């Protein structure tokens, strides 16, 4: 099996376990984002976009155990405010960090050697049925607990190519396509 087919299979299985079904055609469109960093299991995530119109977007985010989405923010685009997004945990636990007052002891662990590009330290822990809305322009990163996590994302239009990452090495649109 290719890496893509293995990761896709694992993603589909996690979603199905949480009662979230994708058609075969949809499964082919799962995005495996390693963001050009080359260590998907550490930094990256798996996504499926249900719909992304010029008005709204809905996605499912799948994170393997301790997999981390690098810190970023959504800037204004074409005179429109940056993306506003609501994360709702469906399965597992997700540790979400946003700009703001630092939580004294956090559960998430920034990837080794990358502490300086994971600056947000205000912790929000989301378990199934819990949600949080991230305002536009707010730096954030998130990590799954030891069991992994599935997060539904409801948002304004998604324009990933404009996302601003703290880590200059990130190439948001790079992933595993084959």
Contact with a copy of itself (CB under 8 A) among 4, 18, 106, 119: 18
* Interacting positions 79-108 with a copy of itself (CB under 8 A): 84, 86, 88, 90-91
By the rule CB under 8 A, 58 interacts with a copy of itself? yes
By the rule CB under 8 A, 42 interacts with a copy of itself? no
Contact with a copy of itself (CB under 8 A) among 79, 113, 129, 168: 129
The C-alpha atoms of residue 104 and residue 106 are separated, in whole angstroms, by 7
By the rule CB under 8 A, 77 interacts with a copy of itself? no
| Helix, coil or strand: residue 95 | strand
Closest distance between a copy of itself and the C-beta of residue 93, in Å? 13
* 99-102 contacts, C-beta under 8 A, 24 or more apart: 99/138, 99/139, 99/140
Q: Which is nearer to a copy of itself, 84 or 103 (CB)?
A: 84
Q: Which is nearer to a copy of itself, 56 or 115 (CB)?
A: 56
Q: Which residues contact 108 (CB under 8 A, 6 or more apart)?
A: 68, 95, 97, 123, 141, 142, 143
Q: Compute the Cα dihedral for 37, 41, 44, 46 and give only its sign.
A: positive
The region of 2-10, 18-26, 34-42, 66-74 touching a copy of itself under the rule CB under 8 A is: 18-26
Q: Which is nearer to a copy of itself, 29 or 39 (CB)?
A: 29
Angle at 34 between CA 66 and CA 133, to 5 degrees: 60
The C-alpha atoms of residue 31 and residue 33 are separated, in whole angstroms, by 6
Residues contributing to the site for a copy of itself (CB under 8 A): 18-23, 26, 50-51, 53, 55-58, 84, 86, 88, 90-91, 128-131, 133, 152, 154-156
């Amino acid at each position: 099996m290719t890496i893509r087919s293995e990761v896709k299979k694992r993603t589909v299985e996690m979603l199905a376990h949480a009662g979230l079904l994708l058609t075969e055609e949809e499964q082919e469109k799962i995005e495996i984002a390693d963001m050009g960093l080359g260590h998907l299991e550490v930094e990256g995530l798996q996504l499926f976009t249900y719909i992304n119109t010029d008005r709204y977007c809905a996605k499912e985010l799948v994170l393997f155990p301790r997999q981390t989405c690098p810190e970023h923010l959504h800037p204004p685009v074409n005179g429109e405010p940056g993306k506003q997004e609501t994360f709702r945990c469906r399965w597992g636990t997700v540790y979400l960090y946003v700009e703001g007052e630092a939580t004294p002891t956090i559960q998430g662990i920034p990837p080794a050697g990358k502490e300086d590009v994971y600056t947000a330290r205000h912790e929000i822990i989301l378990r199934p049925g819990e949600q949080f809305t991230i305002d536009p322009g707010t730096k954030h990163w998130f990590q799954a607990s030891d069991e992994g996590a599935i997060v539904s994302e409801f948002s304004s239009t998604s324009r990933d190519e404009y996302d601003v990452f703290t880590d200059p090495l990130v190439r948001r649109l790079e992933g595993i396509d084959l």
